[in-house]
Amino acid sequence: MDFSLSEDQRAFQDTARNFARDRLAPFASTWDQERHFPAEALREACSLGFGGIYVAEEHGGTGLSRLDAALIFEELAAADPSTTAFLTIHNMVAGMLARFGNDEQRERYLARVISGELFVSYCLTEPGSGSDAAALKTRAMPDGNAHYLVNGSKAFISGGGVSDLYVTMLRTGDESARGISCVVIERDTPGISFGKPERKMGWNSQPTTTVSFDNCRVPVANRLGAEGEGFRFAMQGLDGGRINIAACSLGGARACLDAAVAYVKQRRAFGKALSDFQALQFRLADMATELEAARLMVHRAAAALDAGEADTTKRCAMAKRYATDVCLRICDEALQLHGGYGYIAEYQMERYVRDLRVHRILEGTNEIMRVIIARKLLEATP
């Protein structure tokens, strides 16, 4: 088992780190305060190959692994977890288009998604079905042989109103998970509308809205796969999404730990540097240890997904649960070590705490992660 990075991995890790330093870090606070969607910076990231990280080269992507993607997202999120999180969703949907779309759909959409010409959103959650995603009610009814009429609404959609494509889970059959299909809906389709952007605790560089459908007429040709395959597509996308959001947590926590170490070395109290107090040294040691443990879990889960291992879903749930819990705690500890300055926006700690807090909720709450882990454990026990 080799834990070292290859020369190629170090190269794109450095590329991501430099981009984060130059194009995200100087502006992240302003984007957060002004609730600005940084489309130009996201397109620049896509120009570096970060818009289709794990889309195969034959389809125009970078062709990297999920472990490679975790390395990239950690570097980007060390500067701006909110903007990076949107990019992870963009990549997740690009991967779904590449994997589940047909040749015509890939030809129509994929190159423009990978380049950042088109931004994409993932529409699963509804006002009445969050953790119980299979209970979704938004329905697509046949309208002749070539179209669906879509009615219903989706909630908490990242990129609502600014994304160009909405990969949407719809009910085309019975009330079970087998009755759900996956359809690409374009932003200018008559009948689609967007609620006002939510006022949120964090993730302010990306808008979050409801997406509503009122007799929205969508071509059947926009359906990914066959009818009834949507829920399977959604769940397979979530395994990778959980690794992605865990990697974003790693980046945010690492940035806060680095800032805390620098701060306690230069800040003085009672005649000596804060770093000379053993109690604070121990806190830093625990933060660093927990961050490393979380990173190992995330990388192990990513490797399992890349290899198609049987316990991939369990490992992704474990990594997401542990990393998002631990990394939020590290950010909060870093804020505490800054004292009153940690509460001031200039020092950035409070932004990381706000951005990472939602990671424990999305891509399946950490309570649902425990349900998944326990279920997999019990299934494996005779």
As annotated, the active-site residues are 363
Alpha helices (runs of H) in the chain, residue ranges in sequence order: 7-19, 28-34, 39-45, 66-77, 81-100, 103-105, 111-115, 230-266, 278-307, 312-337, 349-357, 366-380
Q: What are 115's two structure tokens?
A: 């380049």
What is the number of residues in the chain? Answer: 382
Phi first, then psi: what are they for 161, rounded to 5°?
A: 90, -25
What CA–CA distances, in Å, run from 207 to 50, 157, 164, 241?
A: 20, 8, 13, 19
Whether 113 and 94 have beta carbons less than 8 Å apart is answered as: yes
Q: What are 34's two structure tokens?
A: 């002004």
Nearest to 334 by CA among 255, 277, 250, 274: 255
Distance of alpha carbon 331 from alpha carbon 354, whole angstroms:
9
Residues with Cβ within 8 Å of residue 44, at least 6 apart in sequence: 19, 23
Distance of alpha carbon 63 from alpha carbon 93, whole angstroms:
15
What CA–CA distances, in Å, run from 352 to 262, 320, 332, 380?
A: 17, 17, 9, 38
Distance of alpha carbon 284 from alpha carbon 114, whole angstroms:
40
Q: What are 65's two structure tokens?
A: 């692994």
Enumerate the β-bridge partners of residue 147.
143, 219
Taken in order 78, 83, 89, 92, the sign of the CA dihedral is: negative
